[in-house]
Structure 1
Amino acid sequence: MIFEMTYQVRVTDFEEGLRWYKNLLNKEPDFTPHSGFAEWELIPGAWLQVAEGKPAEGCGPLRLGVRSLEGERSRLVRELDVELFEIYEREEVPVKWATFSDPWGNEIGFFEYIDEREMHKRITAILGSKK
């Protein structure tokens, strides 16, 4: 039985990586057990780890669900100097999505439910009544 998950990205400059991911996630790490390592619980049981080291090639993207893909894209371009990235959608897919890279080449992405009722249903199922 799987009950929890972690996903790790590596950065060559940990202090800069820590700053970048704090800004990306809009929060401080939930767990920093030692130097060169930080961890955020994104939703209950799902953790993102940032570790000092050589980034793995060909991994990802880690895609995160957001309420407004366009809003997050604007924020990342403005606050983190992320290069403007394209947003995709297909008629048969219930979400729109996009992929971008952190400064170390780790691929990250966002997705947003097209049907707002479905998005709220998923948020409630995962997080309860939190907004």
Structure 2
Amino acid sequence: MIYEMTIQFRVTNITEGQAWYEGLFQRQPDFIPHEGFAEWEIIPGCWLQVAEGTPTPGNGPLRLGVTDIEAERGRMVNESGAEDFEIHSRKEVPAKWGTFSDPWGNRIGFFETLDKDEMNERIEMVLKK
């Protein structure tokens, strides 16, 4: 039985990396077990670990569900210096999505579910846990 997950991204400087991811998540890490390492619980049971080390080119993308992809794209471009990215959609896919990179080349994506009732049900489910 799988009950939790983690993904790890590496950054060349943990101080800069931690600050960048604090901007992405708009909060401090949930856990710093030792020097050179920080973790955020993104949603219950889903953790992102940021570790100092050699980044893996093209790592990811880690896709994060958001309620307004255009607003989040604007926030990341304006506040974190992320490159502007295209938002994609296809009529057979019930979501919009886009991908960008952190300053170390780790790929991150946002997606927005187009069915707002479904999105709100998922948000309620996560908040109950």
| Same topology, TM > 0.5 | yes
User: Which consecutive unaligned segments of at least 5 residues does structure 2 have?
Assistant: none
2:115 maps to 115
Cα distance in 2 for residues equivalent to 1:43 and 1:20: 19
Q: Partner of 2:85: helix, strand, or coil?
A: coil
Q: Partner of 2:56: helix, strand, or coil?
A: coil
Distance apart, 1:58 and its partner CA:
3.4
Q: Partner of 2:42: helix, strand, or coil?
A: strand
1:127 maps to 127
Matched, 1:76 2:66: no
Matched, 1:16 2:16: yes
**Structure 1, residues 71-119: CA drift from partner, whole Å, max 9, x if none?**
0000011101111100001111111000000000000000001111111
2:32 maps to 32
Cα distance in 2 for residues equivalent to 1:59 and 1:17: 15
2:58 maps to 58
1:92 maps to 92
TM-score, normalised by the number of residues in structure 1 = 0.95
Query: Sequence identity of aligned pairs in percent?
Result: 61
Give the CA RMSD over aligned residues: 1.1
Runs of 4+ in 1 over 6 A off after TM superposition: none
1:103 maps to 103
1:6 maps to 6
Distance apart, 1:57 and its partner CA:
2.4
Cα distance in 1 for residues equivalent to 2:125 and 2:24: 24
